[in-house]
Amino acid sequence: MAGKAFTHWEKRLGYQPEPSEKISHLPDKVVFCLAELGHEATLALYDLVMGVRDLGPAEKFHYLGSQDKVKALDAFLFVLDQVRFDLMQRLGWVHSLAADLYPLVDLASRNQEIKEEFSPTVPLLVKSFQREKGLWDRPGVEQDPLVRSLIPEALEVFKQRL
């Protein structure tokens, strides 16, 4: 499964993951590239989610049947979220990620099962970060949209660190 999932990663990202590799083990540069979601990163993530389902390379996504396409897209979005949450964790902004427990291959192949068994689905903000950003005192703010709204800022801060 991992062989098919990571076949083109070296060419697309300059990095070849091990079969049981977790997102947290990926180099910073690769995590940033995936989180930023440029063309090659998009193809690499589609290679992953399609490879674990034996659906072919990323370029065949548009030719999939509707049911396979929806499953691949759902897995793609789940893995992308986990990559971005990992990037935020590397900045010290969040904790409690599914990606800390599951290898990339599992995140891509068992995304529905992992979503159902892992809680919280969106990581928790670190309390010191909440206070620093003045997020602690905002009444009625929901955690999930708040964390997601921080992704663009996290990408910019991480880029500067690289």
pLDDT in tens, 35-92: 999 999 999 999 999 999 999 999 999 999 999 999 999 999 999 999 999 999 999 9
CA nearest to 46, candidates 79, 15, 13, 18:
79
In this prediction the pTM is 0.93
Beta bridge partners, 145, equal none
**Structural domain harbouring 130:** 8-161
- pLDDT reading at 143 higher than 90: no
Query: What is the distance of C-alpha 153 from the center of its chain?
Result: 16
Is residue 3 in some structural domain? no
Mean of pLDDT over the chain: 93
Please say whether the beta carbons of 72 and 64 come within 8 A. Answer: yes
Tokens of residue 21, six digits? 């590799």
Is residue 18 in some structural domain? yes
Is residue 106 in some structural domain? yes
Burial class (CB in 10 A: 0-12, 13-18, 19+), 22: buried
Q: Into how many domains does the chain fold?
A: 1
Is residue 133 in some structural domain? yes
**pLDDT number for residue 129:** 77
